[in-house]
Structure 1
Amino acid sequence: MSHNACKGYLCPLALTGGRRRPVGGMDYPVINNDKELSWFPRVRRMPEPNHRVINPSDDCFLVTSDEGEIFFKSSSDEPSVCGIYMIADPDKKIQVTFNYLDVPCENGGLVAWVDGWELNGQLWPADDWNDERLVESCDKRPQQKLTSSQNAALIQYRVPAKGKGFAITVHHLKNSKPLMVFEPNGVYTLRNHGEAGNCSVLAIAPSTVGVLSLDVGQTIKSSPLNLETGTIHFCKKRGLTDYVDIGGSSGLDYTNMEVIDSICGLDSVAGQLPAFIVCESTVVRLVSSGLYKNSVTIAFSPLVLEHIEDADMICVPSVKK
């Protein structure tokens, strides 16, 4: 990707594929889940929380949606790169406090906070990277509480010193204006709150996407008058400024997503046939000029195997040179 997001010692992490792949000079096994239609890695999900000690041999790549304390102590001097992938409800942010950090810098140890997720060298959210989204530490723990801008965050770490480690506390905070949503399941409404910019919903899996209601490019902020237009298709090609892209991408970087349709208009009972999208990531992106109060209600669900032959879009994975 074009963003210089993978800094320091830790990036990129390669979590997909069926073979051992190198990370920072080290190889590690990657497991596919062939029984499900998903490229999301089969990583161990944490049980009920409050207090968790990471087992380095089992939990190198850990996904958790829980709050509580997480402890890590290195069991060897191996420079293995691991990650704690945190996810919260769509209307929440993730706050991490480092209770202590004992990771020596001199032998290449490092702990990094990422505001978002990173997979295969790609970041989510992909279109608003800045250096404040990355905090790297060794020897001294970050003094401030680290808070994500949306409902996903990541701790990457390499601790090549036996007995050294760190401890964090994870809290989920209310997000009154979520603009980016990661891994949705069910019905969700994207809103721009009358502001210019892009909002997106991303699922790391082939998905079925249905539009339940639509109000994009119609409701002017200063006008109470709303006229039903129905769903208008291919709005971007028509030169309209506000629209919803529906499609997918090969990985987390959706800035160059493949688009099956861009819709707009006012349709309170959209109810069009759902789209079957076979991509590593399924994406719905709301593009807003700031002239309108936009909203779109969408339904996400995993794509079942029986619907592959009826797919509306199949993304071709990009080949790395």
Structure 2
Amino acid sequence: MACASRFQWHVLLMFLRVLQGESRYIQMKNAAEDALFLINSDLKRELSEEQIYRRSLRCIDMLSIDGQFTFTAERPQLHCALFIIGGPEDFITIEYNFVNINCLGGDILKVFDGWIIKGEKFPSSLDHPLSTVERYTDICELGKMGRITRSSQNVAMIFFRVQEPGNGFTLTIRKTPNLFPCNIISQSPSGQYTMIVPHQHRNCSFSIIYPVVIKIYDLTLGHFNELQLKKPPPRGCGGTGDFVELLGGTGLDPSKMFPLADLCHSFRGSAQMKIGCDNSVIRMVSSGKFINQVTFEYNQLDRQKEGQEGNSVEEVCYPIDS
């Protein structure tokens, strides 16, 4: 099974566990099969630039390719969610082509800028320019078809409830280039990436929903580049204004994860750390005064192998009190 397939299966299982017991209409097997079908490489090769991919949606679903997607309720669907993910350097655009739901009767169709699972958000409220309320787009309140919304990063999410059989909606999903990607969820448990924050006062997180081994090869922080320090920085990196931190946790929100390491000195070479958590995050905090850059490689951690070697990687992974 491809890495992207494993990622989609992993996220679907995580969300289904959250909704367990809340909806009797969730069909895990069918949703997982659709998720695997979405990223089939043969399908991508067969579609020419002039063609548009079309398929129906299920109550719990995930999309990673462009196309036009239709949901039609066969029976009341009360707790539904659509995860959308692009590549690291993608925005997600959503166009509402057709909506036939009963908003006055309690149906909903809302887009969330990011992902939210069991109250935990990505990007976190600390790392997103909008408040949580502003990150929701309520299609029932818009009242205009053909309108387009765009995510602030490579993930977005749609919550919907359709109670009347036969009702539903049609959406067109497209990816557009993001010249300065910031907050990212990786589609794969392994890869390499360079995160750059150019003179921007913002915090950027790269999230990997797996336990991983992370190797940082190059870290450039503007305030230390010219080696003009006359005294060491304060204990920890918080007082420097520009630093990278490694986080681990069981949920989605980086602000609720356990801080595992801070890096506030530029260096070239290699630094490695094992993070035995369900979710691992590399987070860059930038003051906006400098160009900051970090290059890293990540690979899925084999927990069984680590256990056999007597290396406890679980002890550093526990939730932090909110």
Q: Counterparts of 1:68 and 1:150 in 2: how far apart (Å)?
A: 19
Matched, 1:197 2:202: yes
Q: Identity of paired residues, percent?
A: 24
Determine helix, strand or coil for the equivalent of 1:218. Answer: helix
Match of 2:35 among 23, 44, 47: 44
Q: Partner of 1:260 in structure 2?
A: 260
Match of 1:111 among 105, 109, 112: 109
Q: Counterparts of 1:158 and 1:194 in 2: how far apart (Å)?
A: 42
Q: CA RMSD in A?
A: 3.2
Q: Partner of 1:145 in structure 2?
A: 148
TM-score by length of 1: 0.78
- Alpha-carbon deviation of 1:315? 2.1
Q: Partner of 2:74 in structure 1?
A: 75
Contact preservation (8 Å) 1:227, 1:266? no
Contact preservation (8 Å) 1:219, 1:293? no
**Cα distance per residue 1:222-261 (max 9 Å; x no partner):** xxxx4599xx999635732211101212211111321111
Greater helix proportion: 2
Moved more, 158-167 or 247-256: 247-256
- Alpha-carbon deviation of 1:121? 2.1
Q: Partner of 2:316 in structure 1?
A: 314
Determine helix, strand or coil for the equivalent of 1:176. Answer: coil
TM-score by length of 2: 0.77
- The one-letter code of the counterpart of 1:53 is R
Contact preservation (8 Å) 1:44, 1:61? no
Match of 1:173 among 172, 176, 193: 176
Q: Partner of 1:213 in structure 2?
A: 218
Match of 2:93 among 92, 95, 120: 95
- Alpha-carbon deviation of 1:293? 1.4
**Cα distance per residue 1:39-64 (max 9 Å; x no partner):** xx998332447333335xxx322122
- The one-letter code of the counterpart of 1:115 is D
- Alpha-carbon deviation of 1:307? 2.7
Determine helix, strand or coil for the equivalent of 1:307. Answer: helix
Contact preservation (8 Å) 2:256, 2:320? no
Q: Counterparts of 1:179 and 1:18 in 2: how far apart (Å)?
A: 27
Q: Counterparts of 1:235 and 1:312 in 2: how far apart (Å)?
A: 26
Q: For residues 290 and 312 of structure 1, do their structure 2 counterparts lie closer, same or farther at Cα, with a shift above 3 Å needed? A: farther
> Between Structure 1 and Structure 2, how many residues are aligned?
284
- Alpha-carbon deviation of 1:168? 0.7
Q: Any gaps of 5 or more consecutive residues in structure 1?
A: 1-13, 33-40, 221-225
Determine helix, strand or coil for the equivalent of 1:259. Answer: strand
Determine helix, strand or coil for the equivalent of 1:179. Answer: coil
Q: Counterparts of 1:200 and 1:238 in 2: how far apart (Å)?
A: 16
Determine helix, strand or coil for the equivalent of 1:132. Answer: helix
Q: Counterparts of 1:75 and 1:234 in 2: how far apart (Å)?
A: 61
- The one-letter code of the counterpart of 1:67 is D
Q: Counterparts of 1:276 and 1:162 in 2: how far apart (Å)?
A: 49
Matched, 1:251 2:251: yes
Q: Counterparts of 1:124 and 1:285 in 2: how far apart (Å)?
A: 12
Contact preservation (8 Å) 2:257, 2:320? no
Q: Any gaps of 5 or more consecutive residues in structure 2?
A: 1-13, 45-51
